[in-house]
């Protein structure tokens, strides 16, 4: 099992009030799955994404990623897990504007101390995987929105992570480019990658094999889309 959460709670104190963003979420996600987390604004889907992505820790409950207990890790341990186990793709691309596509993709490898020559080969290979082998020297402002998101996907892939976590990956793209990016995720999934997609759009969620519907901090429905098709 790649991901296991048991009775995951996240509670924020706001003045005298306690806000329960997650209320006892228990899920299992196996290696190679393609899962969409779907819910309206304020449902808790972003909080759950932050837990799965080791960007935050739960108030109570347990979270195991690749057989490692995450819930009680300190900030340094969480940073190491994020770098080695998880590739992030964000709605806003999060690219360095003055760096080339190649350098942007190299960044996770720089952070984890990968030697320069190896780093370069891995970054080039990742860009070729997303069909940007001819755009390695281009900066973000020389690329279209779809190409920028492909650079972000290459950066997510470069470490060979256990999990690709995509947060509204088509949110800043026109519909045609969004379809191309979702086609790319399809390809990555068929190649064996585990993908978790966070979205509020049903058209995007339907690309996954399974949809976890989040409502009021709980999983209201666990839908097997593949078998329903």
Query: Does 128 have pLDDT greater than 60?
Result: yes
pLDDT digits (tens, 9 = 90+) for 172-205: 899 999 999 999 999 999 999 999 999 989 999 9
| pLDDT for 226 | 74
Lowest-confidence segment of 68-72, 83-87, 122-126, 193-197 by average pLDDT: 68-72
What is the C-alpha to C-alpha distance for residues 212 and 47, in angstroms, rounded to an integer? 14
Residue range 33-57+74-228, CATH number: 3.40.50.300
- Report angle CA 75, 76, 81 to the nearest 5 degrees: 95
CB crowding 140-173: b at 16 or more within 10 Å, else e: beebebbbbbbbbbbbbbbbebbbbbbbbbbeeb
């Amino acid at each position: 099992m790649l991901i296991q959460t048991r009775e995951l709670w996240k509670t924020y104190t706001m003045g005298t009030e306690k806000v329960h963003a997650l209320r006892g979420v228990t899920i299992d996600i196996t290696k190679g799955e393609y899962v969409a987390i779907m819910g309206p604004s304020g449902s808790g889907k972003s909080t759950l994404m932050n837990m799965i992505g080791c960007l935050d820790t739960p108030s109570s409950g347990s979270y195991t990623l690749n057989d490692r207990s995450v819930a009680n890790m300190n900030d340094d341990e969480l940073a190491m897990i994020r770098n080695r186990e998880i590739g992030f793709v964000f709605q806003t691309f999060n690219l360095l504007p003055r760096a080339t596509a190649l350098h942007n993709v190299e960044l996770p490898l720089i952070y984890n101390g990968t030697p320069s020559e190896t780093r370069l080969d891995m970054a080039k290979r990742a860009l070729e995987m997303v069909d940007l082998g001819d755009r390695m020297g281009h900066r973000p402002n020389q690329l279209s929105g779809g190409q920028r998101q492909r650079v972000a996907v290459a950066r997510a892939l470069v470490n060979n992570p256990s999990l690709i976590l995509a947060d509204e990956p088509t949110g800043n793209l026109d519909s045609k480019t969004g379809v191309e990016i979702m086609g790319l995720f399809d390809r990555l999934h068929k190649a064996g990658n585990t993908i978790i997609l966070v979205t509020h759009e049903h058209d995007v969620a339907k690309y996954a094999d399974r949809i976890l519907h989040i409502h009021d901090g709980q999983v209201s429905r666990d839908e097997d889309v593949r078998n329903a098709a």
